[in-house]
Amino acid sequence: MGAYILRRLLLMIPTLIGIMAINFIIIQFAPGGPVEQVIAQLQGNDVSATARISGGGGDMAGAGEAVGGEGINSKYRGAQGLDPEFIKELEAQFGFDKPPLQRFGLMLWDYMRFDFGESYFRDIAVVDLIVEKLPVSISLGLWMTLLSYSISIPLGIRKAVKDGSSFDVWTSGVIIVGYAIPGFLFAVLLIVLFAGGSFFDWFPLRGLTSEGWADMSWPEKIIDYFWHLILPLTAMALSAFATTTLLTKNSFLDEIRKQYVQTARAKGLTERKVLYGHVFRNAMLIVVAGFPGAFISAFFAGSLLIETIFSLDGLGLLGFESIINRDYAVVFATLYIFSLLGLVVNLISDLTYTWIDPRIDFESREV
């Protein structure tokens, strides 16, 4: 097992480099980089989402002196009338005064040392910015995954045991309908119904906590925290448990039909003992396989619209704004961190296989 873990860890290096290289190449052809963002702001044509120039008055003062210079032939759209020296300073500030290959190499070297630098347009380190947004994403991702699995696994087992019954049929209908409804649309419906939209005003609409949360007692803080999470989690979990439920059901049905289950029943074991003592371990392997992907998706990718609708400032919204604002320092840092985390979680998932079923031996397989 040690050799397998070592091979997987070593394979993470070229995988990460490949992911970063592909995205770096794409970025080179994307119009409207950070230099253009600053030029657009100076010309009064800023179209960014939330960009703020780092350093505030200092940069803008220098820019003001640069505006009105002689017309120049620039590779940047809208740069006519700006001092060429100012354009060079902007390129140096964002690192665009170096060749692309050199910039990519320097970026990889810094990331290997977990040095992610500072945001282009926010006066804050990238790591501090990510840590600032983590509570929202942790809350949504962790609780949504736990809620989804706590519903889907028991429901999937029950559907497998009652396969073909009326319970199986009507729950399948509910699951299909829930899966078909977009989460953001259901979120809007929840707001209209329960957050002061047109009917009831039972739940808060913004943030994870209420005003004065710091002055509350611990029980009040916990209640207030989960009170804010009810609507976002409901909107996210509506379709999330459908796949896992059907996966659990089909996996259990597959195992129940095998010969060893018939043998266990013939020995006089109770149905509960057969189900949870023999079938459960084998049937849950495929569910465990899907856990890392479900967790990573819920944690980082699936909450942008929900965060926007419920005014939650998390990693999903941060990533979207960073792309719109061409804040490449944040874009590449989050890409690197999330890719690394995804690779590590997948390795942990494989190791969990061997813990659940010791018969699985990755050591004898070629990676």
Whether residue 134 is predicted with pLDDT greater than 70 in this model: the reply is: yes
Within-domain flag for 75: yes
Q: For the whole model, what pTM was predicted?
A: 0.72
What's the mean pLDDT when you consider all of the chain?
79
Other C-beta atoms closer than 10 Å to the C-beta of 90 total 25
**Total domain count, the chain:** 2
- If one compares 58 and 363, the residue with the highest pLDDT of the two is 363
Q: Are residues 172 and 250 in the same domain?
A: yes
Q: Are residues 301 and 158 in the same domain?
A: yes
Predicted confidence (pLDDT) per residue in 230-289, tens digit: 888 888 887 777 878 888 888 888 888 888 888 888 888 888 888 887 788 778 777 776
Tell me the mean pLDDT in the region 322-329.
Answer: 86
Q: Are residues 156 and 230 in the same domain?
A: yes
Q: Are residues 136 and 101 in the same domain?
A: no
Q: Are residues 70 and 168 in the same domain?
A: no
Q: Are residues 88 and 181 in the same domain?
A: no
Q: Are residues 202 and 135 in the same domain?
A: yes
Domain with residue 134: its CATH number is 1.10.3720.10
**Alpha-carbon span 220 to 218, nearest angstrom:** 5
* Relative orientation angle of helices 328-356 and 100-112, to the nearest 10 degrees: 50
- pLDDT band at residue 108 under the 50/70/90 scheme: very high
Cβ neighbours for 215, distance < 8 A, ≥ 6 positions apart: none
Whole-number pLDDT of residue 57: 40
* Length of the chain counted residue by residue: 367
- If one compares 37 and 299, the residue with the highest pLDDT of the two is 37
Within-domain flag for 353: no
Whole-number pLDDT of residue 186: 86
Whether residue 52 is predicted with pLDDT greater than 70 in this model: the reply is: no
Whole-number pLDDT of residue 363: 61
Whole-number pLDDT of residue 3: 80
**Alpha-carbon span 313 to 139, nearest angstrom:** 12
Whole-number pLDDT of residue 290: 67
Domain that holds residue 284: 127-324
